[in-house]
């Protein structure tokens, strides 16, 4: 199986004092035409960089260890696909190096050309013919699920479990992704 994973809120937590809702509000806009993500201004980028330190952004160890353990025992191929913009490149690379992502993932795809995250992820999912893809962004998953009928999407969240669409399933842990 070919399985793709998002980065933020799957393997890295948002800062504890900033709720997901606020991050969503800063970045995501839902218009009548559909989804749109905003690239922050330079001033915002500097603020965001200040919060992108180890202290504020903790690795989600449980998920990292779980996947690393699976990688040792399974033949599935894992791909990291992050919509993070170019201004976070250095921080992103430091994180993936520190946590040895190259030993876990068979390929890593970064949105350093600052494309709209949902369009970027859609193109990579199609290119890799992924069987499964895991993300925490429900709106983005909803967009992708409708355009990739042969891929099963998993929404990792804190509360909901079960089928949302034929190919979109809510999970509170990574385990069901591999069932
Ligand atoms: Mg995410």
Query: What is the whole-number distance in angstroms between the Cα of residue 137 and the centre of ligand 1?
Result: 6
- Ligand 1 center to 156 CA (angstroms): 9
* C-alpha count within 13 angstroms, C-beta hemisphere, residue 11: 23
Q: Output the pTM of the full model.
A: 0.88
Say which residue the tokens 């998953």 belong to: 141
What would the two tokens of residue 156 be?
Answer: 């990792």
Look up residue 160 and give its DSSP letter.
-
Closest of 133, 156, 176 to residue 2, by C-alpha? 133
Say which residues have a Cβ less than 8 Å from residue 106's Cβ, sequence separation at least 6.
77, 78, 79
Beta strands (DSSP E) in 8-166 are 28-31, 34-37, 77-82, 107-110, 132-135, 152-156, 162-165
CA of 33 to the centre of ligand 1 (A): 22
| Contact predicate 80/5, CB 8 Å | yes
Distance 84 CA to ligand 1 centre (A): 9
What CATH number corresponds to the domain at position 63?
3.40.50.1000
Report how far ligand 1's centroid is from the alpha carbon of 155 (Å).
10
Measured CA to CA, the distance from residue 154 to residue 169 in angstroms comes to 5
> What separation in Å is there between the alpha carbon of 162 and the centre of ligand 1?
19
* Ligand 1 centroid to residue 43 C-alpha, Å: 22
pLDDT at 122: 98
Residues with CB under 5 A from ligand 1 (ion): 6, 8-9, 136
Measure 11 CA to ligand 1 centroid, in angstroms.
9
Number of domains in the chain: 1
How does pLDDT run along the chain (179 residues), one tens digit per residue? 999 999 999 999 876 555 566 666 667 777 666 788 888 888 888 877 777 666 667 888 999 999 999 888 878 999 999 999 999 899 899 999 999 999 999 999 999 999 999 999 999 999 999 999 999 999 999 999 999 999 999 999 999 999 999 999 999 999 999 98
User: How many Å lie between the centroid of ligand 1 and the Cα of residue 4?
Assistant: 12
pLDDT of residue 52: 67
Asked if 11 and 59 touch (Cβ cutoff 8 Å), the reply is yes
CA atoms within 13 A on the CB side of 6: 27
> Taking the CB of residue 12, how many other CB atoms lie within 10 A of it?
22
Could you list the residue range(s) of the whole structural domain that residue 103 is in? 2-178
């Amino acid at each position: 199986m070919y399985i793709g994973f998002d980065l933020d809120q799957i393997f890295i937590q948002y800062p504890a004092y900033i709720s997901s809702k606020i991050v969503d509000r800063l970045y995501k806009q839902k218009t009548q035409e559909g989804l749109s993500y905003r690239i922050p201004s330079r001033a915002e980028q500097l603020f965001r960089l200040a919060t992108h330190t180890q202290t504020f952004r903790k690795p989600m160890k449980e998920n990292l260890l779980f996947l690393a353990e699976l990688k040792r025992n399974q033949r599935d191929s894992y791909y990291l696909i992050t919509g993070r913009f170019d201004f976070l490149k250095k921080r992103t690379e430091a994180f993936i190096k520190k946590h040895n992502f190259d030993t876990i993932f068979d390929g890593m795809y970064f949105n350093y050309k600052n494309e709209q995250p949902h369009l970027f992820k859609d193109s990579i999912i199609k290119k890799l013919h992924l069987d499964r893809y895991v993300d925490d962004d429900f709106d983005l998953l909803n967009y992708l699920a409708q355009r990739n009928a042969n891929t099963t999407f998993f929404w990792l969240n804190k509360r909901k479990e079960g089928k949302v669409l034929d190919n979109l399933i809510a999970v509170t842990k990574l385990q069901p992704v591999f069932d």
